[in-house]
Structure 1
Amino acid sequence: MEEIEMEMEIGTESGLDRVAMVEFFIHSAELLQVSAIVKYSAFSFFVDRFFPSLPTFIEAGGTSSSSWLLRPLTQNTFHLFALISLWISTKIHYSRPLSVASFKSLANSSIKEHHFTTRNFLEAEVLFMQVLNFEIGTANIAFFFLQELWVQFKGVAKVGELISIEVCMDIMDLLYEKEEMSVHFRSPKSLAASILVTSYVITVPRQKWEFPVLAWVNFVTSCKEDDITKLVTRILEHVLGPS
């Protein structure tokens, strides 16, 4: 509870608009034409880990916590850190990662209120890594499990061909915008299962609902059907609005 309150305080002090922040991230990923795994690894670094960990990092009061990048926190610096997360992700997933020049060029055109130098990017990268405690594993992210489930589902069910991974990703992007849904990204396997089921409900015509999708995801992921059903209901409310 304290951690959530601290996150809210940071958002208030910096004038942070979560929807605008996520939209900036998605737009930047599109302009840079990064792969899906790069995008969602970076999303996990930035939204799931950096943002929730930042209050504790600042409160700890180390030397880096007094960096000019954090004092004061602004929407511009959060945009910079969004680009940093994408840059780090390309270093992990690409044999030839995108250059700092490409990110600096994007920042120059997208962040009008501040001119960030190459040195600023390097400083921000070090600070970003310190907040994450230099832990940048990507195996335990929702998209990783979702992609695996989607491939498996297409292999066992004929209706699997009707489900588009793009629809699944659109749902995931929308959930990232919703602050009240962000907690579910901390349970990536159940979230992935729920997104797949939501996509099934949205995409597959009702007359073709013959495959026992809930039982299948329960078997594959060991997630409880009741938990998935509840989360699917919540996701549908956000995607389609209350019924």
Structure 2
Amino acid sequence: MECGCERLPMVEFLMESAQHLQVSPIVKYSALSFFADRFFPSLPHFINAGHSSSCLLPPVTQSTLQLFVLISLWTSSKIHDSRPLSVTCFKSLADASIKEQHFTSRNFLEAEVVFMQVLNFEIGTTNIAFLFLEDLWIQFNGVAKVGALISIETCMEIMDLLYEKEEMSILFRSPHSIAASILVASYVMTVPKQKWEFPVLAWVNFVTSCKEQDILKMVTKILKHVLEPS
């Protein structure tokens, strides 16, 4: 299993699937946290330790990873949606988008068990960076007029770009800091310089207790990544 090679296509597949299913942002970002932050990095150790007797593992194929991507979205939908998406919905998407292998409804249920085992049955979502970011964005709009110039969509676009690169996604291990840094980066990118009157760094330091120096370093990393030439 070549983790570095497979990760980006899986993150892209998750984002495409989330868009196709028209899930809410919290469902999408919880699924990204489940899969990219926790499941994918833990899977090699899980297999090497011989914990799984599932016919899905090993070997780990691209199709199997795509199945687990859909499981992460399904799990997230069951947590956050009052009417979760059904397994039939995800199976239809798999039939249309996973060409190399056909998965049955039974495969989905089996994959869900493996998914939970790899996550050690810990599926809490209170520490998701998007929740902190959304809350900060709402607060910022309440205290600063320039907050109207920053859209939550811009913040989410930055978040997506960070998830696409493994070395940048590590920043999500500090959800409060990354949320504050994304907000500041959005401020720098979208608010005209002549309107940089609000002390945004001091404000996020006050609201989140994150050190200004740490936020500044993280913002610099984010801006270099987001603005670097393709």
**75, 78, 99: which one pairs with 1:112?**
99
Match of 1:23 in 2: 12
Aligned positions of 1:139-178 closer than 5 A: 139-178=126-165
Task: Say how many residue pairs are matched.
Answer: 229
Question: In structure 1, what is the equivalent of residue 186 of structure 2?
Answer: 199
Farther off after superposition, 50-59 or 26-35: 50-59
Cα distance in 2, alignment partners of residues 123 and 177 from structure 1: 28
* Structure 1 residues 64-213: aligned runs within 5 Å: 64=52, 66-213=53-200
TM-score (norm 1): 0.91
Unaligned runs of 5+ in 1: 1-8
User: 2:38 — aligned with what?
Assistant: 49
Q: What corresponds to 1:3 in structure 2?
A: none
* Aligned match of 1:4: none
Distance 2:151 2:222 in 1: 17
The equivalent of 1:233 in structure 2 is: 220
8 Å CA contact retained: 1:10, 1:55: no
Note the C-alpha offset of 1:55. Answer: 2.3
With normalisation by structure 2, the TM-score equals 0.96
Tell me the CA shift for residue 10 of structure 1: 4.0
Instruction: Tell me if the contact between 1:184 and 1:191 (Cα under 8 Å) persists in the aligned partners.
Output: yes
Counterpart amino acid of residue 210 in structure 1: E
**Offset, 1:58:** 1.8
User: Following the alignment from structure 2 to structure 1, what is the Cα–Cα distance between the partners of residues 61 and 209?
Assistant: 42
1:11 corresponding residue in structure 2: 3
Q: Give CA deviations for 1:95-132 in whole Å, capped at 9, x if unaligned.
A: 21111000000011111111111000000000000111
Give the match for residue 6 of structure 1.
none
Q: How has the CA–CA distance of structure 1 residues 214 and 161 changed in structure 2, closer, same or farther, with 3 Å as cutoff?
A: same
Give the whole-Å Cα distance in 1 for the aligned partners of 2:218 and 2:182.
Answer: 9
CA distance in 1, matches of 2:10, 2:40: 11
The superposition leaves residues 173-218 of structure 1 with CA deviations (integer Å, 9 ceiling, x where unpaired) of: 1100011112111111100000000000101011100000000001
Q: Hey, what's the Cα distance between the residues in 2 that align with 1:71 and 1:55?
A: 10
Q: CA deviation at 1:70?
A: 2.2
How far apart are residue 11 of structure 1 and its match? 1.7
Q: Does 1:221 align with 2:208?
A: yes
Counterpart contact for 1:57–1:131, Cα < 8 Å: yes
The separation in 1 between residues aligned to 2:30 and 2:166, in whole angstroms, is 18
State the shift of 1:23 in Å. 1.2
Q: Which amino acid in 2 is paired with 1:52?
A: P
Equivalent pairs: percent with the same residue? 75
RMSD (Å) for aligned C-alpha atoms: 1.2
| Cα contact 1:218–1:225 (8 A) shared by 2 | yes
For residues 6 and 34 of structure 2, the distance between their equivalents in structure 1, rounded to whole angstroms, comes to 18
In the TM superposition, structure 1's runs of 4+ consecutive aligned residues that sit over 2 Å from their partners are: 16-19
Q: List per-residue Cα deviations over 1:10-40 (Å, max 9, x = no partner).
A: 426xxx4322211111010001010011111
